[in-house]
Amino acid sequence: MSTYFLAYETVADRETGYPVLSARSTVTGKVFAVAGGETFEEAKAQLKQMVMGSIGSMVTCKENPLSILSADEFSEHMVAFNSQELFPLFLMFQRYLLGLTQAEVAERMGISQPAYAKYEDHDANPTMAAVGDRENPGAKRCHPLMGGSPSSDPELGPWAECSSL
């Protein structure tokens, strides 16, 4: 399972002294999200939630979310995102790139649109096996998740594995 990271800086709020975290893009260095909380753990959890929402917005604009994340070694001042957390966004990104609706992808997979929509719901957090061949062995699947062919587009990086829906 791959893990991606986003670096952040910590400062104390001048009025409350509570921690405030600001995440920076690994590519541009620009501040990407800011979150705070009464505790460091609360601020970090809020930052992670904000970043996931922002990544979802990037996906709908067909922007590669990995452009702000890094696959480097984890350090103390980084928020980690594992591939299972990113999986729904991965599917959505590929679908938007291909210009397909959820209904069109669901039809290709041999499932209903509501069933497919659950795969893209970050709260549902489907496992790789749930989308794999166990559900419908005859359906064309996304490689390696659904048995299709990997994309040859190097710009997509790890997100290219599902371009043959």
> Structural domain of residue 56, as residue ranges?
3-82
pLDDT-derived band at 1, boundaries 50, 70, 90: low
Model pTM score: 0.68
In this structure, are 106 and 145 located in the same domain? yes
User: pLDDT digit string (tens) for 16-57?
Assistant: 999 999 998 777 778 888 999 999 999 999 999 999 888 888
pLDDT-derived band at 6, boundaries 50, 70, 90: confident
**Domain end marker among 82, 100, 126:** 82
The predicted model gives 95-118 an average pLDDT of: 89
**pLDDT(136) > 90:** no
Question: What's the confidence (pLDDT) of residue 54?
Answer: 85
**Domain end marker among 36, 52, 82:** 82
In this structure, are 36 and 103 located in the same domain? no
More confident residue, 149 or 139: 149
Query: In angstroms, rounded to a whole number, what is the distance separating the alpha carbons of residues 136 and 124?
Result: 19
User: What residues contact residue 66 under an 8 Å CB cut-off, 6+ apart?
Assistant: 4, 157, 158, 159
Give 119-123 contacts, CB < 8 A, sequence gap 24+.
Answer: 119/87, 119/88, 119/91, 120/88, 120/89, 120/91, 120/92, 120/95, 121/88, 122/52, 122/56, 122/85, 122/88, 122/89
Find where tokens 């541009």 sit. Answer: 28
Q: Is 126 within 8 Å of 88 (Cβ atoms)?
A: yes
In this structure, are 69 and 10 located in the same domain? yes
Buried b (16+ CB within 10 A) or exposed e, 61-78: eeebbbebbeeeeeeeeb
